Amino acid sequence: MATSDAQDYCDWCYGPLSAESTARSRWLGLTLEDAWACATCIEKGRYRVPPDGWDGPTDEWLASDQYVLSADDRRAVLNALNEVLDGPDAIEEWEFGLRMGVSRDEARQVWRRIAGG
């Protein structure tokens, strides 16, 4: 749970916040709007629209284009990146940037960020 001097409830459903949902709220940039989302509201994508009482135009809500991938989604993206980077039919160096839009090193950095390492 959040500390006593910090918000300890979700701005969407008013449910309790866990340490993980607090960290995810920060990662999603919700804290820039002084908003916090519980794990359920993050999973269901409720954070993508402003909570009741938010004072501002909906089109200016910072988290509207942020997505949270499930474990299965992350696994699929990691496996696809791994195949492109190192699989038996990996894209050759000379065409990697043209086909992927990023360098091989940038793609590896993305892989590491998604993998959490």
31-56 pLDDT per residue, tens = 888 899 999 999 898 988 899 888 88
Domains held by the chain: number: 2
In a domain, 47, yes or no: yes
Residue 43 belongs to some domain of the structure:
yes
CA–CA distance, 78 with 34 (Å, rounded to integer): 32
State how far the alpha carbon of 41 is from the alpha carbons of 32, 68, 85, 110, in Å: 17, 11, 34, 26
Per-residue pLDDT reduced to its tens digit, 73-89: 888 999 999 999 999 88
What pLDDT is recorded for position 1? 45
pTM summary value? 0.56
The predicted model gives 28-32 an average pLDDT of 85
Q: Which domain holds residue 93?
A: 71-115
